[in-house]
Structure 1
Amino acid sequence: MIPERFAPVLRELAPLAERFATSGHQLHLVGGTVRDLLHADGRRDFDLDLTTDARPPQIKARLDGWADAVWTQGERFGTIGARRRDPESGEDRIYEITTFRAEAYTDDSRKPHVVFADEIEADLSRRDFTVNAMALELTGDDASPALVDPFDGAGDLARRVLRTPLGPEVSFSDDPLRMLRAARFVARYGLEPTPALVAAVESMASRLEIVSAERIRDELDKLIVVDHPGPGLWFLVDTGLADQFLPELPNMRLEHDPIHRHKDVLSHSIAVVENVRPPDEQGREGEGVQAARRAYDFRVTRLAALFHDIGKPRTRGYQPGKGTTFHHHDAVGARMARKRMAALRYSNDDVRDVSELVALHLRFHTYSMGWSDSAVRRYVRDAGDLLGELNVLTRCDCTTRNAKKAARLSRRMDELEARIEELAAAEELAALRPEMDGNAVIEHLGIAPGRTVGEAMRFLMEIRLEEGLLGDDEIRSRLDDWYATRA
C-alpha cells in the first residue's frame, strides 16, 4: 500500500500520467523522489524525476500544452526538462522525464554511452543503489499506483543498508562517481555499506580518475552540507577514495596533534566540520549575536573547516620544552587549500574565501590579552566580508573535552562579538577605511598622484585602526605633521 504522504504528489502528476496513458506509454515516478517520499514525512522540496518507455520526441509531444516551459539540453541522453506552476501551492515545479535507459562508461571515457530500454526493470537495474532503484507506476491498470521495487530498495532503506542493484563492480564501472556518491548516502541516510560494496570501492578507487573534476567537486559539495557528513568523510578516507582527489585528507590521519590530545588532526578536522551547523542552528541566546551568527555561508564554512589544518603535516616540527609544533600551518594550509580547490575546479570566489579563512583561522588566538579597540578593528579589517564565517569557524575549532577550557573560549568569543557590535554601531566598522580618501589627500597636501599618496593612505589607515575616527580637523592636522617630517 502506498503511504498517504504520496497523495499530494500523485494528485499533482495525475494529469500528466493521463496524457502518457492515453498515448499508450508508461510513466513512473522514480529514483530519489520515491526514496525521499518513503524516508521523509511528506517532504516536497525536491524536483520530480520521472521515467517512461516513450522516446524524447514522444515525451515532448505529451508535454505540449501541459508544461509552461520545456528544455531539451539532455535530449541526446533521453532527458526532457519541464517547468509548470503547481496549482495547489502556486509555486513553479521542475520535472525531468527520461526514457528508460541503460548506460555504461567505456574504460577511458568521462561520459556515459546511453542505450534506451523498453522495460522499467532494465532501467532500475542500472541505477546506482537499491534505495534509488524504486519506481512508482502512474499509468497502470489499477486505480492505485504500484511500487516497482525489484531489488528491495524499500527494505534496504528501512534496514539502513547501502548496496547496488547489480554487483557493485558493475555499478561502479557504469559510473565511477557512484563510489563517491556512496559516501553521501552513508552520511545522509545513515546507511551501512555492505562488505561487497566496500571491497569494490577499495579495489576500484583509481577508476575515479576518469571522472571530471567538476563532477567530483559537485559531489563533495553535496556531502559537505548534509546534516552529519562525518561518516561519509571517513568512508572516503578508509576506502582510499580520498587519495584520488583529496590526498591531504588521509595525510592528516598520521599526524598527532598535541593541542587536541584526544584526536589526531583528521579526527579533529572532521569534528570541526560536524560542529559547523546551519545558520538557523548555530545561533545562541542573545538577539545581536544570534543575528550576526546567521550571516555566513554554511557550505563555505564547512569547506574551510575541512581544510583548516591541512598544513599541519608539512609544518610538523619539534621544539624542546614544547614538543610537537606546527608553526605557520595556517599560511601553508591556505596555499594548499588554494591549490587543491583550483584542481577541483571550484570558483575563484570559493577558492579565495576558503583559503582566506584557512589563513585567518588562528587570528582570534593571537589576542590573548583582551580585545582593545585597535585589535577589534584589525580583526574586522582582516576578515572583511568573511567575518561571520571566521567567527563560526573559530568557535567550531574548539573540540576539547575539557568543559572549562571550552567555556573559556566561548566566553572570549562572546566578548569579541560584543566588542565588534559596539564598535560597529559607533564607527561603521564594516566599511573600515581612512577618514580621508586619496583625492582629499592630494588636494590638502597639494601634491600629484604617486607613491606619496599611497604612503599617506597607509599612514591614515594605521590611525583609523589604532585610534578610530578623529574628526576632520584632527586628521588633517595629523596628516600635515606626517608630511612635514618627510621634508
Structure 2
Amino acid sequence: MGADEKAVQEARFTVDPVVLELGRRFVDAGFELSLVGGPVRDLFLGRASPDLDFTTDADPDQTLAVVRGWADAHWDIGREYGTIGLRKGGHQIEVTTYRAEAYDPDSRKPAVAFGKDLVADLERRDFSMNAMALRLPDLELVDPFGGLSDLHAGLLRTPGAPELSFSDDPLRMMRAARFASQLGVGVAPEVQAAMTEMAERITIISAERVRDELVKLVKGASPRAGIDLLVETGLAERVIPEIPALRLEADEHHRHKDVYQHSLTVLEQAIGLETGPDGPVPGPDFVLRFAALMHDAGKPATRRFEPGGGVTFRHHDVVGAKLVKKRMKALRFDNDTIKAVARLVELHMRFYGYGDAGWTDSAVRRYVTDAGPLLERLHRLTRSDVTTRNQRKADRLAFAYDDLEQRIADLAEREELAAIRPDLDGSQIMAILGIRPGPLVGRAYQFLLNERMENGPASEDEARDRLLQWWAQQPEAGDEGGSTPRQDTAESEER
C-alpha cells in the first residue's frame, strides 16, 4: 500500500458519522454529495476542522428539501451563490451546488453559474490541496490535481494556471500568504510569480475581506512566512504599506538595525509569550501580535541622520500609533481593536529609561493606569522589543523589567492599581465646592486624580483639604461675591 493510499485509509477512519449520514440522505434522494476543501485537507493533516463543507449537484432548493427535518436549523443567506448553511448537533455545515463561476475583471462580486460536474467544480477552487473531495457515502477520494501530493510536499499550487485563478478571485493571493502562515507550506514558483505580476488586482477586493485574511494570517502558526510573502510579491504595498516601508535603505555611514526584520523578530518573541487559555494573554492574540508587528511603523517617517553619524527616530511611538489607527480604519477594523493596538504602539517606548533612572511610585501608577486593561499585553510587547545581540544589554533590560513588574505587584498589594480613582467622587467635589455639574468639576476631578497618582491613597479629610487648597487658587473661587464653598452651599440652601 502506497503512502497516499495509506493516508486515505487513515482519513476514512476519522470521518465524523454526521458526514456519512448526510451523504446517505443526498444519495437516497438521487443526488451526489462530497466532503470538499479544507475539511478534507485537514483530515490528511490530522487536524480538526471547525466547519464541514460539502458540494453537490443538487440546486439550493433541492438541498433545502433534503436537509429539512434532519438539520437542527438551516439558513439560506448564501443562496444566490448556491450555498445553504445548516447546523446539526455541534456541527456548522455548508452545502454548495457545483459551481462554474468567473469574476468580472473590474468587479468585486462573482458571477455564479451552477454546474453538474464535481471535477469541474474542483478545478475552480483556489489551491490543489483544497481541491480534493471525498465522495459520499463511500469516501472515495477524488483528487484530479494532485492535492494530496502537494500536501505531503508542503507546496501551494493552483489546479489550473495561477493567473486564471487569481483573476477569478484576487483574494486568493492573500489566502496563499495566509496558508503559508497557518500550514507552514511554501509557494510554487509559478504561483509566487503570478502573485507578483497581479498584485495590483487585490485593490478591487473589499477592505473587509482583505482584513479577514490578514487577521487569519497574523493568528497563524508562522505569521513571519506569510508576511514575508506579502512583502516579496508586492501585495503588502497595496494592503498594508507600513510594513514594507520598514525595510529602510542600508547606509554604510549610518548603520542601524534592520527595522523590518526586527519587527518580525518582535512578533515571533511576542507569540512566545502568549499564554494558555487560562492565562492573562491566551494565544493566538491578534492585538498583541499586530501591535508587535506594527510597533515601529512610525520609524520611516521620523528617521533622522545626526551629524555624528547616528540615527534617531524621535517620537516614532506617537507617529506610529497614528499611522496604525489610520491603516486599521481603512481595513475596517472595529473601534475597540483599533484603540487597543494603537495604544500599545503608543506606549511601547514608555518603559525605556526605567533601568537607568528608576521610577517613582507615581510613575509606576501612571504606567499601570495608562495601560489599563492592556497591561499584560504591554508587558509582553515591551519584553519582546529587546532583540539586541548584546547579552549584557539584554540581561540589564530584562532585569529592569522584572524589577518594574515587581514594583507593580508590590503597589497593587497596597493599593487598587487596577482601578485608580480620586479619593473623592464627583458628587463629593460638588458638595464641598458648592458648584454645579460642568467642566469645573472635571478639572477638580483631574486634580485629585493627579494627587492620587503622585501621593497614593489619602483619607477623605486629607483629600478634602487638598481640594480646598487647590480651589483657593482657581479664578472661579472668587465668583458670586468671593464666597467660600461652605458659604455658597449655605446660601443656595437659604434660597
Question: Match of 2:113?
Answer: 115
Question: Match of 2:485?
Answer: none
Q: Tell whether the 8 Å contact from 2:38 to 2:49 is kept in structure 1 after alignment.
A: no
Distance 1:93 1:382, change over 3 A: same
Amino acid at match of 2:37: G
Question: Match of 1:287?
Answer: none
Q: CA deviation at 1:5?
A: 4.7
Q: CA deviation at 1:471?
A: 1.3
Distance 1:277 1:6, change over 3 A: farther
Structure-1 separation of matches of 2:241 and 2:370: 30
Of structures 1 and 2, the larger Rg is shown by 2
Structure-1 separation of matches of 2:438 and 2:241: 47
Distance 1:320 1:431, change over 3 A: same
- Secondary structure of residue in 2 paired with 1:150: coil
Confirm whether residue 106 of structure 1 aligns to residue 104 of structure 2: yes
Q: Tell whether the 8 Å contact from 2:123 to 2:159 is kept in structure 1 after alignment.
A: yes
Q: Tell whether the 8 Å contact from 2:256 to 2:311 is kept in structure 1 after alignment.
A: no
Structure-1 separation of matches of 2:461 and 2:250: 56
Question: Match of 2:82?
Answer: 78
Amino acid at match of 2:325: R
What does residue range 176-215 of structure 1 map to in structure 2 within 5 Å? Answer: 176-215=170-209
Q: Tell whether the 8 Å contact from 1:293 to 1:392 is kept in structure 2 after alignment.
A: no
Deviations 1:154-190 (A, max 9, x none): 0001011111000000100110000111111122222
Amino acid at match of 1:158: H
Q: Tell whether the 8 Å contact from 1:28 to 1:136 is kept in structure 2 after alignment.
A: yes
Q: CA deviation at 1:292?
A: 6.5
Q: Tell whether the 8 Å contact from 1:296 to 1:389 is kept in structure 2 after alignment.
A: no
Confirm whether residue 146 of structure 1 aligns to residue 146 of structure 2: no
Confirm whether residue 393 of structure 1 aligns to residue 391 of structure 2: no
- Secondary structure of residue in 1 paired with 2:77: coil
2:335 is aligned, of 348, 356, 379, to: 348
Q: CA deviation at 1:366?
A: 4.0
1:446 is aligned, of 426, 430, 434, to: 434
Question: Match of 1:88?
Answer: none
Structure-2 separation of matches of 1:252 and 1:467: 42
Structure 2, gaps ≥5 residues long: 478-495
Distance 1:282 1:413, change over 3 A: farther
Q: Tell whether the 8 Å contact from 1:297 to 1:389 is kept in structure 2 after alignment.
A: no
Q: CA deviation at 1:354?
A: 1.2
Amino acid at match of 1:37: L
Question: Match of 1:331?
Answer: 318
- Secondary structure of residue in 2 paired with 1:364: coil
Structure-1 separation of matches of 2:211 and 2:118: 31
1:47 is aligned, of 48, 51, 58, to: 51
Q: Tell whether the 8 Å contact from 1:137 to 1:147 is kept in structure 2 after alignment.
A: yes
1:403 is aligned, of 368, 391, 396, to: 391
- Secondary structure of residue in 1 paired with 2:106: coil
Distance 1:282 1:411, change over 3 A: farther
Amino acid at match of 1:357: L
Distance 1:116 1:296, change over 3 A: closer
Q: Tell whether the 8 Å contact from 1:367 to 1:375 is kept in structure 2 after alignment.
A: no
Structure-2 separation of matches of 1:25 and 1:94: 21
Confirm whether residue 29 of structure 1 aligns to residue 35 of structure 2: yes
Deviations 1:4-31 (A, max 9, x none): 3543424222221111111111111100
Structure-2 separation of matches of 1:282 and 1:160: 28
What does residue range 307-322 of structure 1 map to in structure 2 within 5 Å? Answer: 307-321=294-308
Q: Tell whether the 8 Å contact from 1:256 to 1:265 is kept in structure 2 after alignment.
A: no
Question: Match of 1:373?
Answer: 361
Question: Match of 2:487?
Answer: none
Amino acid at match of 2:110: P
Q: CA deviation at 1:308?
A: 1.0
- Secondary structure of residue in 1 paired with 2:34: strand
Structure-2 separation of matches of 1:452 and 1:19: 72
Structure 1, gaps ≥5 residues long: 86-91, 284-289
Q: Which is further off, 381-390 or 109-118?
A: 381-390
Q: Which is further off, 397-406 or 466-475?
A: 397-406
- Secondary structure of residue in 2 paired with 1:436: coil
1:61 is aligned, of 50, 55, 65, to: 65
Confirm whether residue 459 of structure 1 aligns to residue 453 of structure 2: no
- Secondary structure of residue in 2 paired with 1:294: coil
Amino acid at match of 2:389: R
Structure-2 separation of matches of 1:185 and 1:257: 35
Structure-1 separation of matches of 2:286 and 2:250: 27
1:136 is aligned, of 115, 134, 137, to: 134
- Secondary structure of residue in 2 paired with 1:114: strand
Q: Tell whether the 8 Å contact from 2:26 to 2:33 is kept in structure 1 after alignment.
A: yes
Q: CA deviation at 1:268?
A: 0.9
Question: Match of 1:233?
Answer: 227
Q: CA deviation at 1:360?
A: 1.0
Distance 1:23 1:261, change over 3 A: farther
Amino acid at match of 1:394: T
Question: Match of 1:7?
Answer: 13
Question: Match of 2:407?
Answer: 419
Q: Tell whether the 8 Å contact from 2:132 to 2:142 is kept in structure 1 after alignment.
A: yes
Deviations 1:295-352 (A, max 9, x none): 7881011111121111111101022346110011111111111111111111111211
Q: Which is further off, 239-248 or 4-13?
A: 4-13
Confirm whether residue 363 of structure 1 aligns to residue 350 of structure 2: yes
Paired residues, number: 467
TM-score normalised by L of structure 2: 0.90
**Could you list the runs of 4 or more consecutive aligned residues of structure 1 that deviate by over 6 angstroms after TM superposition?**
none
Question: Match of 1:89?
Answer: none
1:480 is aligned, of 460, 468, 491, to: 468
- Secondary structure of residue in 1 paired with 2:105: coil
Distance 1:222 1:115, change over 3 A: same
Structure-2 separation of matches of 1:463 and 1:70: 59
Q: Tell whether the 8 Å contact from 1:256 to 1:263 is kept in structure 2 after alignment.
A: no
Structure-2 separation of matches of 1:272 and 1:73: 41
Q: CA deviation at 1:118?
A: 0.8
Amino acid at match of 2:128: T
Q: Tell whether the 8 Å contact from 1:257 to 1:264 is kept in structure 2 after alignment.
A: no
Structure-2 separation of matches of 1:476 and 1:221: 50
Structure-1 separation of matches of 2:272 and 2:101: 37
Q: CA deviation at 1:53?
A: 0.9
Q: CA deviation at 1:99?
A: 0.7
TM-score normalised by L of structure 1: 0.91
What does residue range 212-291 of structure 1 map to in structure 2 within 5 Å? Answer: 212-255=206-249, 263-277=257-271, 281-282=274-275
- Secondary structure of residue in 1 paired with 2:222: coil
- Secondary structure of residue in 1 paired with 2:444: helix
1:168 is aligned, of 162, 171, 177, to: 162
Structure-2 separation of matches of 1:450 and 1:105: 58
Q: Tell whether the 8 Å contact from 1:337 to 1:355 is kept in structure 2 after alignment.
A: yes
Structure-2 separation of matches of 1:204 and 1:463: 59
